[in-house]
Amino acid sequence: MAATELIAARVTSETKARFRALAERQQLTESVLLKRMIDLTIQSVSVIEGEALRPTNQAAVGGRVCIRLRSEDQLLLRERASARQMAAATYVSVLVRAHLRALPPLPKDELIALKRSVAELGAIGRNLNQIARAANGGGRVAGPSSEDLRAMLKVCERLRDHVKALIKANTASWEHGNAEADR
């Protein structure tokens, strides 16, 4: 429902100045602060009188939240969202959800990289399984030497360690802000 009605009141210049200062401290306009005060008053009276509470702000029902950020925080937000190849609003949404549910998120690109790594490990494992099956069956294995197998094992261990480090850095970056700062 669109807000089309106007409520006005005349006050002294001193009251107006104090109200303006209060709004500025909260980084709001005078109109927004006044609207919030009216909404809070109506809600508190409704609770006292036992009326069912109805949302007064349709945007809140739709899941949208508007926030004000300091310019330096907005710059950091854009940088961090960009580093994760996300829109700033999406980044904030993921951050808030992660905070509310205590779940460090894994952005799509990072999840894709992890899935590729797991697929590579699966392919290596299948190859090693075929070699082991042939060797256990008494057949002649014309495959990698023991030196080659040790090299594959090292690659798998490094990939495992890399994935673990990626997950740790991801978690730390969501908890503390920047993955590079935690390394």
**CB neighbour list of residue 23: distance below 8 Å, 6 or more residues apart:** 29, 30, 32, 33
| Residue 131 CB contacts under 8 Å (≥ 6 apart), including other chains | 141, 143, 144, 149
Mean pLDDT taken over the chain: 77
Task: Render pLDDT for 43-94 as a digit per residue (tens, 0 to 9).
Answer: 877 666 665 555 555 544 557 788 888 999 999 999 888 877 788 888 888 8
Most confident of 21-30, 38-47, 81-90: 21-30
What's the pTM value of the predicted model, to 2 decimals?
0.38
What residue segments make up the domains of the chain, in order of their start? Answer: 7-65, 69-103, 108-182
Please choose, from the candidates 43, 11, 46, the residue with its C-alpha nearest in 3D space to the C-alpha of residue 30.
Answer: 11
